[in-house]
Amino acid sequence: MTQDKEPIIRQAYCLYCLYLTTLIVGVFIQFSDESEFAVDLSKTGLTHVPRDLPPFVQFLDMSQNFLFELQTSDFSSLLGLKVLRLSHNRIQRLDFNVFNFNRHLEYLDVSHNHLQNISCYPVVSLKHLDLSFNDFSALPVCFEFSKLIQLDFLGLSATKFQQFDLLPVAHIHLNYILLDLGKYYVKEDETENLQILNTKTLHFIFPPNSLFSIQVNIQVNALGYLHLTNINLNNENCHVLMKFLLELTRGPTLINITLNNVETTWKCLVSVFQFLWSKPVEYLNIYNLTIVENINEEGFTYSETKLKALKIEHVTNKVFLFTKTALYSMFAEMNIMMLTISDTAFIHMLCPQAPSTFQFLNFTQNVFTDSIFQNCSNLVRLETLILQKNGLKSLFKVSLMTKDMPSLETLDVSWNLLESHRHEEDCIWVASIVVLNLSSNVLTDSVFRCLPPKVKVLDLHNNRITNIPKDVTHLEALQELNIAFNSLTDLPGCGSFSSLSVLIINHNSVFHPSADFFQSCHKIRSIDAGNNPFQCTCELREFVRNLGQVSSEVLEGWPDSYVCDYPERLKGTPLKDFHMSPLSCNTALLIVTIGASMLVLTASVTFLCLYLDLPWYLRMLCQWTQTRLRTRNVPIEDLQGTFQYHAFISYSEQDSAWVKNELVPCLEKENIQICLHERNFVPGKSIVENIINCIEKSYKSIFVLSPNFVQSEWCHYELYFAHHNLFHEGSNNLILILLEPIPQNSIPSKYHKLRALMTQRTYLEWPTEKSKHGLFWANIRAAFNIELTLTAENNDMKT
Ligand X SMILES: *[C@@H]1O[C@H](CO)[C@@H](O)[C@H](O)[C@H]1NC(C)=O
The residues of the shown chain that bind ligand X, judged by CB under 6 A, are 388, 412, 414-415, 437, 439-440, 457, 459
Residue 360 to residues 265, 289, 301, 558, 707: CA-CA distances in angstroms? 27, 21, 22, 38, 117
Least distance to ligand X from the beta carbon of 412, Å?
6
384 or 520: whose CB is closer to ligand X?
A: 384
Least distance to ligand X from the beta carbon of 435, Å?
6
What are the residues facing 94 on neighbouring strands? 118
Least distance to ligand X from the beta carbon of 236, Å?
43
Chain position whose Cβ is nearest to ligand X: 414
Coil/strand/helix, residue 380: coil
* b/e burial code for range 79-117 (CB count within 10 A of at least 16 → b): ebbbbbbbbbbebeebbbebbeebeebbbbbbbbbebeb
Coil/strand/helix, residue 582: helix
Least distance to ligand X from the beta carbon of 499, Å?
16
99 or 497: whose CB is closer to ligand X?
A: 497
H/E element holding 656? helix 656-658
Least distance to ligand X from the beta carbon of 507, Å?
14
Least distance to ligand X from the beta carbon of 402, Å?
17
Secondary structure tally for the chain: helices H, strands E: 20, 32
> d(Cα 324, Cα 712) in Å, to the nearest integer?
136
Least distance to ligand X from the beta carbon of 345, Å?
20
180 or 480: whose CB is closer to ligand X?
A: 480
Coil/strand/helix, residue 709: helix
89 or 440: whose CB is closer to ligand X?
A: 440
257 or 387: whose CB is closer to ligand X?
A: 387
132 or 439: whose CB is closer to ligand X?
A: 439
Can you spell out the DSSP letters for 440-504?
Answer: SS---GGGGGS--TT-SEEE--SS------TTPPP-TT--EEE--SS--SS---SSS-TT--EEE
* Beta-carbon contacts of residue 24 (< 8 Å; ≥ 6 apart): 52
Least distance to ligand X from the beta carbon of 582, Å?
41
Packing angle between helix 752-760 and helix 714-723, nearest 10 degrees? Answer: 90
Least distance to ligand X from the beta carbon of 459, Å?
4
Closest CA to 393 of 354, 442, 351: 442
Phi, psi of 89 (to 5 degrees): -125, -160
328-334 long-range CB contacts below 8 Å, 24 or more apart? 329/353, 330/270, 330/298, 330/300, 332/356, 333/300, 333/302, 334/302, 334/310, 334/358
155 or 530: whose CB is closer to ligand X?
A: 530
Q: Report which DSSP code applies to 200.
A: E
157 or 414: whose CB is closer to ligand X?
A: 414
Residue 358 to residues 332, 379, 470, 525, 570: CA-CA distances in angstroms? 9, 7, 39, 35, 56
Least distance to ligand X from the beta carbon of 407, Å?
19
484 or 620: whose CB is closer to ligand X?
A: 484
436 or 691: whose CB is closer to ligand X?
A: 436
